Chains A and B, each alone.
Chain A
């Protein structure tokens, strides 16, 4: 049930771009993306719904490919503040409600 994220870790220089992928073996209803800095709580970035839409948050955007059951997070012109671990979470439906199952994360390090 747990989505698979790749790569596990990325090291970038400030200003470079990165792509983080998230794939699921189950049909996706929605995909959540969160960023967690060391010792802190995960912070919400965005939700992608079925329909292949793309969303943006500052210079961070994401896409959702329902057919391929995957989502990708794009970080462009990375800033030092983007450092942290990125988690995707996939929505699993439970009758009248749903839960979010997270991947194991992608650690992003940005160097000046």
Chain B
């Protein structure tokens, strides 16, 4: 596709429900990132994939958060037993290369998750 596509655009979940957020990166992009952005804050790193390999998941807040990219393209971020503090915009970004020194990040429009 022309850009990074994320779905759903908005998600309302009741506390305790599981949610799955989808990211469709630009075709051929090796790197895929998930970020969490709270209102008025910068994107906070969650996890990074190089193709299908999850090389860094140090930013995942708890073991309720799980991400996968099984075929090196589409990625899913899953949050189990959602809590109110999980409410945020979840941004996905992809880039062409493994190293970001010459590789701009292309962001999707994000999924706004509201946990009630």
A interface residues, Cβ below 8 angstroms from B: 2, 29-30, 32, 34, 40-44, 47, 49, 87, 89, 91, 93-105
A97 & B42 in contact (Cβ 8 Å cutoff): no
**How many residues of B sit at the interface, in one of the four size bands?**
20 to 34
B107 & A94 in contact (Cβ 8 Å cutoff): no
B43 & A42 in contact (Cβ 8 Å cutoff): yes
Among B35, B91, B105, the residue within 8 A (CB) of A32 is: B105
Please name the residue on chain A nearest to B30 by beta carbon.
Answer: A97
B interface residues, Cβ below 8 angstroms from A: 4, 31, 33, 35, 40-45, 48, 50, 55-56, 91, 98-110
List the count of A-B residue pairs having beta carbons below 8 Å apart: 78
Q: Which residues of A contact B44 (CB under 8 A)?
A: 102
Please name the residue on chain B nearest to A97 by beta carbon.
Answer: B98
Given A30-B100, A91-B100, the answer on whether A103 and B42 have CB atoms closer than 8 Å is yes
A99 & B100 in contact (Cβ 8 Å cutoff): yes
B45 & A97 in contact (Cβ 8 Å cutoff): no
Complex Cα distance, B106 from A43, in Å, reads 7
* 26 A–B pairs (Cβ distance < 8 Å), ordered by A: A30-B101, A34-B107, A41-B107, A41-B108, A42-B107, A44-B104, A44-B106, A47-B103, A49-B101, A49-B102, A87-B43, A89-B105, A93-B99, A94-B55, A96-B50, A97-B50, A97-B99, A98-B98, A99-B45, A99-B48, A100-B33, A100-B100, A100-B105, A102-B42, A103-B42, A105-B40
